[in-house]
Chains A and B, each alone.
Chain A
Amino acid sequence: MSFDWGIIIANWKFLILQGLMGFGAFGGGTLRLAIPALVLGFILGVIVGLCRLAHRPWIHYPAVLYVEFFRGVPLVMVIFWFWFLIPQMTGQRLPEYTVALTAFVVFEAAYLGEIVRAGIQSVPRGQVEAATAGGLSYRQMMVHVILPQAIRNMIPSLVTQFIVLFKDTSLASIIGMMDLTKAAQTVSQREIRPFEMYLFIAVVYWIFTYSMSRFSQWLEVKMSPERAPTRRAALRAATAEAPA
């Protein structure tokens, strides 16, 4: 068995510029799909999460239905629906990229909405009472007291979900969108070098997901100034723990 790592170099423009970043004749692109999907999915997720927490039944129940429905069906199926359904309903085919982005935003918002809901509920009730007693309106309380604490508690789950989303973008290749996976598949079929190609994209995916995980750890510390021990406190703790 012999390997030819040279084909990565020979095809790097196609793999990285086209497949990963989406610059090229085919459109698509893993990052060009993942980044807007993540941002739009999160915005929709916050709306879904807040609606689930609402007391009014006509706001609450549609949100419950939305979450339970999209969490209960496979992502591949949602992608296929949009792929086959939109042309039937509108009479025209949308580009693969648009279909994939819509499917991801709609699907991910269900998961992200649950994370947002759990994050808000993790803030102790006393915080709501203190803000209410202080005369803050619902909006002021959410913006200044509840959400800053909730988002901090959400970071680990949010980043996990973002990592899942990032990897799931590889499913966009099944409707023919040119992402990193599809690019690797194309090269691999032409050159008959599947091992080199799929190992290479595994490394690329991993580099991104690992960076996200490290970023999450950094952000958690950064957003919790009060939890970061002062230098003196850290020194004191270190001396106390040291064996005599």
Chain B
Amino acid sequence: MIQFRGVNKWFGPLHVLKDIDLHIAAGEVVVVCGPSGSGKSTLIRCINKLEPIQKGEIVVDGMPLNDPATDITKLRAEVGMVFQQFNLYPHMTARQNITLAPVKVRKQSREEAERLARDLLAKVGIPEKADDYPAQLSGGQQQRVAIARALAMQPKIMLFDEPTSALDPEMINEVLDVMVNLAREGMTMIVVTHEMGFAKKVSHRIIFMDEGRIVEEGAPHAFFANPKEERTRTFLSKILVH
């Protein structure tokens, strides 16, 4: 579903992604972790071309990202994204946030989009919040609306960029529960997170990044039980202690 071949990226003089090779199959749930500045957010932001790459090749659902013939808007419609800061449109209600892209990009009828929004809000557990504005919702509720907004485009891939990092502790689980259900339904997901409970529960593979490289990857059981690399062990000891 997603292929990275020899991907390199620079922010000015800063080399943020180094020779990334990565294949992600349809239906796979991949967790990406690593210290801050390791390039993990940049990695997933390349998948929908929020960030351009300077070297190498990325192919998403058969569409090569750097080919000028590829319709990037079409590609972005296939890839849903959830951000750390939610990024809901503050001047629109939860329902309007969800229906905007389906109506404008997918050219769905308003009734169809509204029905879908209702179903999705029920799915993320807040059907009663359809007419609330983001400022009237808690962080956890906002993030669930953001997930519903991304799902409304019926994407084949969902990207999560630290979806629970900006949340109060008691709201983390309500968001993770939605993500667990999504994983169990067979959605292809790439999740940048430090929620190792989530990784153990539903992920098929964990990728550990440091300084722009993929240091280690493996199935969650092996990854946690006996990490091969010293760098991984240090990192895990720091986040698993508490």
> A: which residues have CB within 8 A of B?
124, 126-127, 129-137, 140, 144-145, 148-149, 152, 224-227, 230
Contacts and interface: CB of A to CB of B under 8 A. Distances in A.
B17 interface: no
B198 interface: no
Given A126-B85, A148-B91, A152-B91, A134 B149 contact: yes
Interface in B98-155: 100-101, 104-105, 133-136, 149-150, 153
Contacts of B80: 133
B76 interface: yes
B81 interface: yes
Q: How large is the interface on B (under 10, 10 to 19, 20 to 34, 35 or more residues)?
A: 20 to 34
Main secondary structure of the interface of A (DSSP, over half): helix
Interface in B63-93: 73-74, 76-77, 79-81, 83, 85, 87-91
Main secondary structure of the interface of B (DSSP, over half): mixed
A226 B153 CA distance: 25
Contacts of A148: 91
Nearest to A143: B104
Given A126-B83, A129-B83, A226-B133, A134 B91 contact: no
30 contacts: A124-B87, A126-B87, A129-B81, A129-B83, A130-B87, A130-B88, A130-B89, A131-B89, A133-B150, A134-B76, A134-B100, A134-B101, A134-B105, A134-B150, A134-B153, A135-B76, A135-B101, A137-B73, A140-B105, A144-B100, A145-B89, A145-B100, A149-B89, A149-B90, A152-B91, A225-B133, A226-B133, A226-B134, A226-B135, A230-B136
A140 B50 contact: no
A225 B91 CA distance: 8
Contacts of B150: 133-134
Nearest to B74: A135
B77 to A, nearest CB: 4
Contact of B76 (A126, A127, A132, A144): A132
A210 to B, nearest CB: 28
Contacts of A140: 104-105
A140 to B, nearest CB: 5
A227 B133 CA distance: 9
A155 to B, nearest CB: 13
Nearest to A152: B91
What 7 A-B pairs are tightest by C-beta distance, nearest first? A226-B133, A130-B87, A126-B87, A135-B77, A133-B81, A134-B101, A135-B76
A227 B135 contact: yes
Nearest to A137: B73
A129 B100 contact: no
B135 A127 contact: no
A124 B101 CA distance: 19
A54 to B, nearest CB: 19
A127 B85 contact: no
A129 B81 CA distance: 9
Contacts of B101: 134-136
Nearest to A141: B104
Given A144-B100, A226-B134, A135 B73 contact: yes
Interface-central residue, A129, A132, A133, A145, by most chain B CB under 10 Å = A133
A124 B89 CA distance: 10
A235 B134 CA distance: 20
A132 B50 contact: yes
A136 B105 CA distance: 6
B203 interface: no
